[in-house]
Structure formats: C-alpha cells, structure tokens
C-alpha cells in the first residue's frame, strides 16, 4: 500500500484552511490553531478479543500501513500542527512496531 503525503496544494488541505479561516473570523476557534484539534488513529484492525459491539471484529480483510507509512502520517500531522492524537485500533499494542511508532 502506498501512502499519499499531505501537500500544501492538495484540494482537501486548501478546503480545510478555508474552513479554519472562517472559524477564526467568527472567533469560533483560537486564532493560533492551524491543524486539526484531534485525530484518532487506528494503527491496526487486529485484536485479541471479539467483542460483539466492536466494529473492528468485522470479517473484512483490510490492508494496514507499515511502520514507515505511519511515520509519514505522524510527520504530516506534526507539520500541520495537529493538537493531539489517539492511537487505537483494534488493539494497537499488538503491533510489533508499536513503540517505534510512538517514538
């Protein structure tokens, strides 16, 4: 799987910047905010439990990002000054590279 880097000229980024400018104009968010306030990240769909209410236990196979691809995503979030992230999953700690990604 190849990841797509967030670029300054991407339509989605420009749309996001326009939306943020409107929020700032109406003082709905702090003027210092330049990135998303919070990004939940599912590092894996793997889990050692099978809770009946959990969407992760769906039978579909899904490709996951590798270590380097996750590092690129996290670098991009840092570059756009993301306020916070939550690493989740499935069970994120089941990944052998979990601590490397956290670093």
pLDDT band at 98 (very low <50, low <70, confident <90, very high): very high
Q: What's the full length of the chain, in residues?
A: 103
Asked if 20 and 26 touch (Cβ cutoff 8 Å), the reply is no
**pLDDT at residue 48 greater than cutoff 90:** no
CA distances from 60 to 10, 43, 95, 100 (A): 30, 16, 19, 27
DSSP code at position 84:
-
pLDDT band at 57 (very low <50, low <70, confident <90, very high): low
- Listed by start position, the domains of the chain span 35-102
Residue corresponding to tokens 């000054």: 81
Asked if 56 and 89 touch (Cβ cutoff 8 Å), the reply is yes
pLDDT band at 7 (very low <50, low <70, confident <90, very high): low
Per DSSP, the chain holds a count of helices (H) and strands (E) of 3, 2
Residue 101 tokens, joined: 């990604």
Residue 97 tokens, joined: 């590279």
């Amino acid at each position: 799987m190849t990841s797509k880097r967030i670029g300054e000229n991407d339509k989605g980024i420009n749309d996001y910047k326009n939306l943020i400018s409107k929020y700032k104009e109406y003082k709905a968010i702090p003027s210092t905010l330049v990135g998303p306030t919070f990004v939940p990240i599912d590092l894996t769909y793997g889990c050692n439990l099978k809770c009946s209410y959990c969407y992760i236990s769906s039978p579909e196979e899904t490709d996951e990002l590798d270590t380097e691809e996750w590092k690129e995503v996290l670098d991009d979030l840092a570059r756009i000054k993301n306020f916070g992230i939550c690493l989740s999953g499935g069970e994120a700690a089941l990944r052998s590279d979990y601590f490397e990604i956290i670093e």
